[in-house]
Amino acid sequence: MTDVPCAFLALLETDATWRDPAAFRWRADAADRLDLLLLAMDSAAERARAECLLDAMAAADEVLFAELREAIRAGRGKAALAPWLDVGEPTGAHYDALDALLAGVFAIEEPVPDNPRPPADMVFYQPTPMRHIVDAVRRAALSPADHVLDLGAGLGHVSLLARVLSGATVTGVEREPAYVASARHAATALGMPEAVFTCADAREADVTQANIFYLFTPFIGPVLRDVTARIEAEARKRPLRVVALGPCTRTFARQPWLKTTDANPEANDRIVIFTANPV
Ligand SMILES: C[S@@+](CC[C@H](N)C(=O)[O-])C[C@H]1O[C@@H](n2cnc3c(N)ncnc32)[C@H](O)[C@@H]1O
C-alpha cells in the first residue's frame, strides 16, 4: 500500500471529527474514499483497520438516523433536518449525501416489484433526488393548507419528506403493490399514518382533492396525455399547481391552461412549477 492510504487510515483513527453523529457529510465523504482505497489494499491488517473504521462510521450514522426518526415521530422533523436542507438552487439527476441521509432516516424497504418491466408508456421506479423535493417544498411554499398528490409515487419519498417539511396533506398513487406496501410501512414506522398511499393506475386515481400535483415523469405518451387531461379537468374547477421534474415538464410547459414564471419552462433537470387558475 502507498503512503496516502496509510496516512488516511491513521488520520481517521486519530481524528475524532467523524465520530460525532452529526458529522454526516464529513463521514460520508470519508467512507466513500475509504471504500475506494479498500479496493487497492492488499495487506490483511490494513484491510481490517479500514473495515473496522467503516463499521464505526455506519454505527455513527445509525445513531444519527435514529435521532432524526425520533424527531419526525415527535413532530420535530423539520427543525431536526434543518442543518441538511440548504440545497441552494439544485439541478441534475444525480444523488448526493442528502439522499443517503434520508434513505437511512426513512428506512424504506425496496422490494423487487411484481412486474419489473413496466407496461408501455409507464416508467420504472427512480426516486426524485431529495434536494429537488426540498427545493419544491420551499419554492411552492407548501403549507398545511395544501394537498400534494404524487402521481407515480414509487416508495413514497416525496410524500414523506413533503409532509415532514410542510405539514401538507400528502397522497401517493402508485401502480406497483409492493412499493405501496413499503411506503405505507415506512409512514407507519415514522409515526405518519396520515400520509396516504393508494395502489392505483394514475389514470383512475382520485384527483379531486389535491391542489398540488407532483410528477417526476412517471409515464409518457398516451398515459401522460390521459393524466394531463384529468388534471386539466380539475383545473377548470379550482386553482391548482403542477410541480414537475424530468422530461414530462415539457408536456406541461406546452399546456395553454398552465402558466409558469420559470425562465425556462421546459427545463428538465430541476423542478418547474406551473399554476392553473379557473377562468
Ligand atoms: C420515476 S418514478 C417516480 C417515483 C416518485 N414519484 C419519486 O419522485 O420519488 C415513477 C413511478 O411511477 C409509477 N408508475 C408508472 N406508471 C404508473 C401509472 N400509470 N399509475 C401509477 N403509477 C405509475 C412507477 O411504478 C414508478 O414507481
Residues 6 or more apart from 32 whose CB is under 8 A from it?
A: none
Q: Kindly state whether residue 86 falls inside one of the protein's structural domains.
A: no
Using most ligand atoms within 8 A of CB, pick from 110, 117, 121, 123 the residue to mutate for ligand 1. 123
Q: What pLDDT shows up at residue 61?
A: 97
Query: Contact at 8 Å (CB) between 216 and 158?
Result: yes
CB 173 near ligand 1, within 6 Å: yes
CA 126 / ligand 1 centre spacing (Å): 8
CA 217 / ligand 1 centre spacing (Å): 8
| Helix residue ranges per DSSP H, the chain | 3-14, 24-40, 44-73, 77-81, 97-106, 130-139, 157-166, 177-189, 221-235, 248-253
CA 20 / ligand 1 centre spacing (Å): 37
What is the position in ligand 1's atom list of the atom closest to the CA of 150? 6
CA 181 / ligand 1 centre spacing (Å): 14
Q: Kindly state whether residue 266 falls inside one of the protein's structural domains.
A: yes
Answer whether 0.85 is exceeded by the pTM.
yes
Q: Kindly state whether residue 118 falls inside one of the protein's structural domains.
A: yes
Q: Are residues 105 and 234 in the same domain?
A: yes
Atom 8 in ligand 1: residue holding the nearest Cα: 128
Q: Kindly state whether residue 100 falls inside one of the protein's structural domains.
A: yes
Q: Kindly state whether residue 80 falls inside one of the protein's structural domains.
A: no
CA 61 / ligand 1 centre spacing (Å): 29
Q: Kindly state whether residue 81 falls inside one of the protein's structural domains.
A: no
Q: Are residues 120 and 204 in the same domain?
A: yes
- How many domains does the chain fold into? 2
Q: Are residues 196 and 260 in the same domain?
A: yes
Q: Kindly state whether residue 269 falls inside one of the protein's structural domains.
A: yes
Q: Kindly state whether residue 84 falls inside one of the protein's structural domains.
A: no
CB 128 near ligand 1, within 6 Å: yes
Q: What pLDDT shows up at residue 2?
A: 57
% pLDDT > 90, the chain:
91
Dist CA 176 CA 169 (whole Å)? 22
Cα atoms in the 13 Å half-sphere on the side-chain side of 177: 2
Query: Contact at 8 Å (CB) between 157 and 182?
Result: no
| Residue at which a domain ends, from 13, 43, 74 | 74
Cell of 97: 449525501
- Residue ranges of the chain whose pLDDT lies below 70: 1-2
CA 109 / ligand 1 centre spacing (Å): 16
What is the position in ligand 1's atom list of the atom closest to the CA of 179? 27
Long-range contacts of 2-8 (CB under 8 A, 24+ apart): 5/37, 5/40, 5/41, 5/46, 6/46, 8/33, 8/34, 8/37
Dist CA 269 CA 236 (whole Å)? 29
Kind and range of the H or E run holding 212? strand 212-216
Q: Are residues 132 and 259 in the same domain?
A: yes
CATH number assigned to the domain comprising residue 126: 3.40.50.150
Q: Are residues 50 and 107 in the same domain?
A: no
CB 125 near ligand 1, within 6 Å: yes
Dist CA 260 CA 277 (whole Å)? 12
Q: Are residues 55 and 175 in the same domain?
A: no
Q: Are residues 200 and 261 in the same domain?
A: yes
Q: Are residues 172 and 237 in the same domain?
A: yes
Q: What pLDDT shows up at residue 114?
A: 74
Q: Domain range holding 131?
A: 96-276
Query: Contact at 8 Å (CB) between 273 and 260?
Result: yes
